[in-house]
Amino acid sequence: MATATDAAVDTADHGHATSTGISNTKLAMWAFLGSECLLFGGLISTYLLYKTRRGPGPDNTVIPTDVFDIPFTSVSSFVLLMSSLTMVLALSAITRGDNPATRAWLLTTSMLGAIFIGGQVYEFTSFLREGVGYTHNPASSAFYTLTGFHGVHVSLGIVMLMSLFVASKQGKLRQEHSETVEIVGLYWHFVDVVWIFIFTVIYLIPVD
Amino acid sequence: MAVTEDPLALTTGEAATVERPLGVLTRPQGGNGWRDWLSTVDHKKIGIMYGVAAMFFFIVGGIEALLIRVQLAAPNGSVLSADIYNQVFTMHGVTMIFLFIMPLAAAFANYLIPLQIGARDVAFPRLNALSFWVWIGGAIFLNSSWIVGGGGADCGWFCYSPNSGLAFSPSHGVDFYAIGLLITGIASLVSAANLIVTVLNMRAPGMTLFRMPVLTWMLLVTQFLLLFALPVITVALFLLLFDRLFGAQFFNPEMGADPLLWQHLFWIFGHPEVYIIILPSFGIISEIIPTFSRKPIFGYSFMVFSGIAIGFMGFGVWAHHMFVSGIGPLSVWAFSMSTMFIAVPTGVKILNWLATMWGGKLRFTTAMLFAVGAVAMFTIGGLSGVTHALAPADTQQTDTYYIVAHFHYVIFGGGVLGLMGGMYFWWPKFFGHMLNETWGKLHFWTILIGFNLTFGPMHVLGLQGMSRRIDTYSPGFGFEFWNLVATIGAFVIALSVLFFFFNVWKSRRDAPNLPPPGPDPWDARSLEWMVPSPTPEHNFDEVPVIESDDEWWHRKYGYDENRNVVRIATVEEAAQDGSATGVHLPAPSFWPLVLAAGLPLIGYGLIFNLWLCVVGGLLTGIGIYAWALEPVDDPDADHGHDHDHDDHHDDHHDDEEAPVTAGDEEA
Amino acid sequence: MAETTLAETTLAEEQAHDHPSDWAYVKIALLLAAITGVEVLTYFESAVTVFENNSVTIASLMVMMVVKFYMVAMYFMHLKHDNPLFTKLFVGGLVLATAVYVAALAAFEFWA
């Protein structure tokens, strides 16, 4: 009969054994990401439903699709896509125990994320200048809400990455903590795949 | 074989080497003072707090229900104004669903899941505490609108737009509704992820998924429903809130928006919510009936799979709430069909309960009476539910008292009676003494009679054409008699609740003079009955190794050569005595409470003054970082080895509405 | 949800340590970049005549999006090499989200 004492033996050599053999935190993260699919699905569906709904006029008829700047958004989407690469490179570095490289890639990833957020701020302000106010029509409300929620997710990701960076600087993030980087990475990649979806479905697919 | 209780394992006697990271709040120690309840991460204490708080809100929601019934007792009722009446029935529904039944089910889930799977705690004990504190913050926030928000929400519990817009609901009630439900939603989402990981990862050796008790299975399905349904209402509530606070145009038809969007989003959440309410009760019934029939549950795998099927299909029937909303004939047809299909797995469950009782040695204890009563009442509610699946009939029934009758038979009859039965069944395990059976039976029969007096007549009223949610009615429509009966019934229910509270008080007073219940007073079947009552802080002295379903039963009973059941061990021989010492338990923490306290402040800030948001946000942020920097192990305690569990920077579970830190505390 | 056997678990753990090399990640990123390039090209319809038909454009954009999504999830998020339970959880949410929202939009006659 396995007893609690056996469990202590297990833990002594860092066997983090669970019933399924997988880490609790990682499982919780994936469950959370599964749940997030429903959150973004709802916001995206709301936008799709409303994307051509203009106000009755005269000041509220401009909708986001009228003022999309595809070349600009393509560049910022590309930046976010590449941040996924630097994120996996950070994970790869910490699993090798290469702390300076880990910090470098974490920092690069945050910077790319920050560029994306900067691009979004620029996009929002230029849309506002062109007459797409948040309260003007269902299309604009839905657009700002969807991309705003995504932006908040990216920003929180940047906060997490910078926390990891600081922890690594203080020597608290070492090779044996690579799972922490992996889990923050899962969140980051998820935010990226959501944008892959948004970029295609919201920006690129032509509106009739 | 994997053993899961990693930091909870017996100490090896090495000195702890964790330094104290923050001197702000002294790390609390175990005990029973009020500080220990505020800082506890023990799933049992958290479960009890959920239960106590849920019963408090049961009283609040019950008083609201009585106000409704007093108003409707006679024609031209003038106890409440139409405006107050709207607020009272809205808050009655919201309170009973989100602040009573869901947390009461959460109480059972928290207390029983770890015990039933042979674990020492949930996967993330501090997150578990966080769920509770966030939930109670949201609950208090929601009800504070009576005092500071100019009255409660007045849009009905499903708060259809455009009624919920500023034009028709100018007080702050709906803002409190939206933010309050967002906050309680965060709590449920965190707890769903936590309990899913617990069930999947923390099982004792040999406890395969298909050896888990049906209750644990049903609670697992419930957590998946929460995980996938809550984000949908989160979206809906944010859209509503942005409409109201920032002038967005999600539900304003004048601007080309479609109010039906709210109805879809609400019911994509709202229908799974019905199963979130009912499945825990189904699980409890599935524990009580086999125990008091002295038979294993009939068709275990059918019970499990029908629960899973209900979970899946629950996402495919939402638009049957919208048959009269103009969703088009094709949608009506499709959702009418799917609704009829979902009756199949539900029927499977009812038949299996009956088959479990068939030929069993039945003992009608109070718990058993409640379980059987719940099955019977749920069957009535289920049958009237099938009548709404027929769209033409539903068109007649929509927004009448027939619907009110139906969902009370399902939620009160099926859900609340089952949960009440669970209280009588597990009370000795929770508190170490039994509830009085005589008063319990009196409680049961008064609540059963009161319930049927209240809601049975509503079928008639509905078919006579009495509208739901009208604040009064004129004489001469034939509504007088049955309304009076319903009001009398409501007071009978109130009386039965008084009996229950009296029973709680009396049983506690009498307990010292009665023999203790022992680990297993009911001769039951699942693992929680092999530990002493009340459950010791460390749950199991030794983690049991599971060899069959109904493991505890098989440790007490075997078969002779003629396949007759024979006793092979007494309870005393087979049970654990709770004497293990030095079991390494997760350390308590104040940070979940601090983190949770920030959220209602953010809520008040959004409504009244954005500066409060800053304060709340700071509090939450401090909570997150302090939590992340706090080691899982208590630096002051002299327990076992340092696992090198340092969880500084695992603040990766944040998202904008759920600033939640997952400690990597595999405890 | 099938019970994960010990053997499967061990296998998954072994594979978990067998993540693609940095160079493989770079190659995946280059492929993603190339697909993004093609996606953006469809915006400049006149340059690529294949995409003049709207429904062809939409179909090819959707295919490219799915490929990108799949590659990030499978390789960058390691679903390909990790425990299948993660894939089930995530795909469960994804499929459920797609199903309910497609159905809801269908009720609005969005696809008509």
Mean pLDDT (whole number) for B182-200 = 97
Q: What is the pTM of this model?
A: 0.90
Question: What distances in angstroms separate CA B88 from CA B70, B104, B462, one per listed residue?
Answer: 12, 22, 20
pLDDT at residue number C48: 56
Is the alpha carbon torsion for B417, B49, B536, B13 positive or negative?
A: positive
Residue A115 has pLDDT above 70, yes or no: yes
Closest approach of chain B CAs to the CA of C94, in angstroms?
10
Mean pLDDT value across residues A3-28: 60
Mean pLDDT of A43-69: 92
Nearest-5° Cα angle at B371, B449 to B62:
50
User: What pLDDT is attached to residue C47?
Assistant: 53
What pLDDT is attached to residue B639?
A: 40
Q: Does A74 touch chain C (CB under 8 A)?
A: yes
Q: Which of residues 4-33 of C touch B (CB under 8 A)?
A: 6
pLDDT in tens, B468-493: 999 999 999 999 999 999 999 999 99
- In terms of Cβ atoms closer than 10 Å to its own Cβ (0-12, 13-18, 19+), residue B81 is exposed
| pLDDT over 90, % of chain B | 80
Cβ–Cβ of C107/B268 closer than 8 Å?
Answer: no
| DSSP-assigned states of every residue in B214-230 | HHHHHHHHHHHHHHHHH
Q: Do B258 and C104 touch (CB under 8 A)?
A: no
Q: Which of B120, B216, B249, B538 to mutate to test the interface with A (most CBs of A within 10 A)?
A: B249
Give residue-wise pLDDT tens across range B244-262: 999 999 999 989 999 999 9
Per-residue pLDDT, B655: 35
Facing C107 at nearest CB: one of B1, B316, B319: B319
Mutate to test the interface with A, among C17, C21, C40, C42 (most CBs of A within 10 A): C40
Look at the block and give the residue holding tokens 């979206």.
B235
pLDDT digits (tens, 9 = 90+) for C23-82: 999 999 999 999 999 999 888 765 556 556 678 888 889 999 999 999 999 999 999 989
- Tokens representing residue B107 in the block: 């109480």
Q: How confident is the model at residue B27 (pLDDT cuts 50, 70, 90)?
A: low
Q: Which residue shows structure tokens 């509270």? A: B501
Nearest CA distance, A147 vs chain B (angstrom): 13
Is the pLDDT at A2 greater than 90? The verdict is no
Which chain C residues have a beta carbon less than 8 Å from that of B264?
104, 107-108
User: For the residues A134-146, what does the mean pLDDT come to?
Assistant: 95
Q: Identify the pLDDT of residue B28.
A: 58
Q: What is the mean pLDDT of residues A34-54?
A: 96
Q: Which helix (H) or strand (E) holds B565?
A: strand B565-567
Q: Which band of pLDDT confidence, cut at 50, 70 and 90, is reported for residue B663?
A: very low
Q: Taking a contact as any Cβ pair under 8 Å apart, which residues of chain A between 90 and 109 contact chain C?
A: 92, 95
Name all chains with 3 or more CB-CB pairs below 8 Å to chain B.
A, C
Query: Testing the interface with A: which of B227, B652, B657 to mutate, by most A Cβ within 10 A?
Result: B652
Distances from the Cα of B617 to the Cαs of B75, B220, B469, B620, in angstroms? 50, 32, 38, 5
Spell out the residues 6+ positions from residue B302 whose beta carbon is closer than 8 angstroms to its own: B348, B352
**pLDDT at position C18:** 57
Q: What is the average per-residue pLDDT within A10-38?
A: 78
pLDDT in tens, B165-178: 999 999 999 999 99
pLDDT band at C8 (very low <50, low <70, confident <90, very high): very low
Please report the pLDDT score of residue B628 as a whole number: 87
H or E element at residue B559: strand B557-559
What mean pLDDT comes out for the span B436-451?
97
Q: What is the pLDDT of residue A207?
A: 77
pLDDT given at position B83? 94
**Interface chains of chain C (3 or more CB pairs under 8 Å):** A, B
Instruction: Give the DSSP letter of residue B545.
Output: P
pLDDT digits (tens, 9 = 90+) for B78-126: 999 999 999 999 999 999 999 999 999 999 999 999 999 999 999 999 9
Task: Give C20's pLDDT tier (boundaries 50, 70, 90).
Answer: confident
Give the per-residue pLDDT at B8: 43
Residue B367: C-alpha distances to residues B425, B436, B473 (Å): 5, 11, 40
Q: Is the CA virtual torsion B444, B450, B456, B462 positive or negative?
A: negative
* Interface contacts A/C by beta carbons within 8 Å: 136
Average pLDDT (B295-304) is: 94
Q: Decide if pLDDT at B654 tops 60.
A: no
- The helix (run of H) or strand (run of E) holding residue B132 is helix B125-143
Instruction: For C104, name the nearest residue in chain B, comparing CA atoms only.
Output: B264
Indicate the burial class of B358 (C-beta count within 10 angstroms; 0-12, 13-18, 19 or more): exposed
What is the residue-wise DSSP string for A171-193?
T-S-GGGHHHHHHHHHHHHHHHH
Q: pLDDT, tens digit, for every residue of B335-360?
A: 999 999 999 999 999 999 999 999 99
- Chain C CB contacts of A45 under 8 Å are 101, 104-105
pLDDT of residue B650 exceeding 80 = no
- Provide the shortest C-alpha distance from residue C17 to chain A (in Å): 9
Report residue B585's pLDDT band, with 50, 70 and 90 as the boundaries: confident
**% residues pLDDT > 70 (chain B):** 90
Q: What does the pLDDT read at residue B634?
A: 52
> Which pLDDT tens digit goes with each residue over B66-75?
999 999 999 9
Name which of A2, A134, A163 is nearest B649 (Cβ-Cβ): A163
- DSSP letters, B345-412, are HHHHHHHHHHHHHTT------HHHHHHHHHHHHHHHHHHHHHHHHSHHHHHHHTTBHHHHHHHHIIII
Query: What local confidence, expressed as pLDDT, does residue B630 receive?
Result: 80
Q: C93 and A26 in contact by Cβ < 8 A?
A: no
The pLDDT mean for chain B works out to 89
Can you give A51-110 as a three-state secondary structure string?
CCCCCCCCCCCCCHHHHCCHHHHHHHHHHHHHHHHHHHHHHHHHHHCCHHHHHHHHHHHH
Say how far apart CA C99 and CA C110 lie, in whole Å.
14
CA dihedral (B427, B431, B433, B435) positive or negative: negative
Specify the pLDDT at position A208. 66
Q: Which residues of B touch A142 (CB under 8 A)?
A: 250
Instruction: Provide the shortest C-alpha distance from residue C34 to chain A (in Å).
Output: 10
Residue A49 has pLDDT above 50, yes or no: yes
Tell me which of B632 and A13 has the higher pLDDT.
B632
